[in-house]
Structure 1
Amino acid sequence: MGNQIEDVPDISAEWYREVTGLALHTPAWVRDAAAVATDAVPAILFAFLVFGWWRARRGDDRMMALALLAPVAVVTAYLASEGVKSVLRLRRPCWDMTDVVTVAHCPPYGDWSLPSNHATFAAAAAVGLVALWRGAAAVVAPVIALLEAFSRVFVGAHYPHDVVAGLLFGGLIAPVVLLAMRSPATALVSAMRRRPALAVLVATGRPPVLPRGR
């Protein structure tokens, strides 16, 4: 049956009640927007990563390697978090706090709570975006990840410690994947760019250099 509510930190349970209570006192459009955004943000972040790949087609081999690795890092972090959830089998707050009204529907039994997959995904994607755009992304991406984590508590899907664990999980795994695979990925991109059949995926987009004298 998984661990019971007695295993939940008191402060996390208290914050959960306060945040979900706050959610019920917000205007209906805020609750509706949060319900949509909490599931839409990961898709938006992934779309930014796809755009990062497209943008990197005009960059050097290292930048294209990071653009290709960023989604790999996100998926790796997500799958790892799902594996941890399956092992820990910690219960969702809405399964036990039946007196709490939540914005989102309570997930079915078997969809465990810690770490939050959404927060893990958002943090890992933020790391990938920062690696690609160290300017605005260095501020914007982490803020989006934090908002996504907060939204999971706001809609009632997770305890605060679930999303903190997810943020740490994604924020640690993604850079490890990027750093560990950067060199071989850069070499692979360099090799792919020398093959016309594969260059469309990693092309620099630069015009060919014509021989001198023509």
Structure 2
Amino acid sequence: MPIGGASQEAWFRAVNHLARATPWLHTPARLFAQDGIVLFAALLLLSWWWARRAGDPRRVAAALWAPAGALVALGANQLLVAAFAEPRPFTVVPDALVLVSRSTDASFPSDHAVMAGAVAMGLALAHGRHALTWTGAGLAVLMAATRVYVGAHFPLDVVAGLLVGAAIALASYRLVRPVAVRLVEAVARTPVRALVHG
């Protein structure tokens, strides 16, 4: 039984039923669920580029920490995954439609959702209410939804993943921010200043 009990299974079955009824959506959902990380990497690169052009050391520091914060969140999530050891939906619901390879690791919280939530928070820290931030947030929600749609996770797995990723990205940046900003300011006074100032 998944975390959240029968209600989680019922929500998963409802989404899985939707997946069965929408075969035209299978390929794009599967591609995004598996390879959407490339889009998040592109957003992080664009975030750094725009931050350096703005010339604000705080924004540059946040943009540069964003990928590191996502890695920290993913690392911390492994402890949660091991602690909860929740089974994947396809082991609880044997007749589920699964559109991706059946992973053998535990399900809660979702690594993909943790990554997406962390990147979305990193963008928010660097750019505030910018279009890039809203794009990242939208893609994070889409990643969470598609991970359920393809049969890889229960809904609570991805909701928790988004929250865990965002929380760890925020907390870790607050810890490193003073040092990160000073480092950016120091680099701005060197021959490689183009890395932090456009």
Same fold (TM over 0.5): yes
Equivalent-residue separation in structure 1 for 2:6 and 2:146 (angstroms): 20
Runs ≥4 residues deviating over 6 A: none
Equivalent-residue separation in structure 2 for 1:172 and 1:112 (angstroms): 21
Alignment of 1:1-214 (within 5 A): 5=1, 8-28=4-24, 30-58=25-53, 59-107=55-103, 109=104, 111-133=105-127, 134-196=129-191, 198-202=192-196, 204-205=197-198
Equivalent-residue separation in structure 2 for 1:137 and 1:195 (angstroms): 29
- What is the identity percentage for the equivalent residue pairs of Structure 1 and Structure 2? 36
Equivalent-residue separation in structure 2 for 1:172 and 1:56 (angstroms): 22
Deviation of 1:45 (Å):
1.1
Deviation of 1:121 (Å):
0.6
Residue deviations 1:85-117, cap 9 Å, x none? 12322211112311222222321x2x1100000
Deviation of 1:21 (Å):
1.3
Deviation of 1:138 (Å):
4.0
- Tell me what 1:212 maps to: none
Deviation of 1:171 (Å):
1.7
Gaps of 5+ in 2: none
Q: Amino acid of the residue matched to residue 16 of structure 2? A: T
Decide which structure has greater helix share.
2
Equivalent-residue separation in structure 1 for 2:30 and 2:133 (angstroms): 26
Residue deviations 1:123-178, cap 9 Å, x none? 11111112233222343322221111011110000011111110110121111112
Shift in CA distance, 51/140, structure 1 to aligned 2, threshold 3 Å: closer
Gaps of 5+ in 1: 206-214
- TM-score, normalising length from structure 2? 0.91
- TM-score, normalising length from structure 1? 0.85
Equivalent-residue separation in structure 1 for 2:82 and 2:171 (angstroms): 22
Secondary structure of the residue aligned to 1:101 is coil
Deviation of 1:184 (Å):
0.9
Secondary structure of the residue aligned to 1:162 is helix
Residue deviations 1:41-60, cap 9 Å, x none? 22211211112112222222
Equivalent-residue separation in structure 2 for 1:143 and 1:68 (angstroms): 21
Deviation of 1:187 (Å):
0.4
Aligned residues: 196
Equivalent-residue separation in structure 2 for 1:50 and 1:137 (angstroms): 11
CA contact (8 A) 2:2 2:8 kept: no
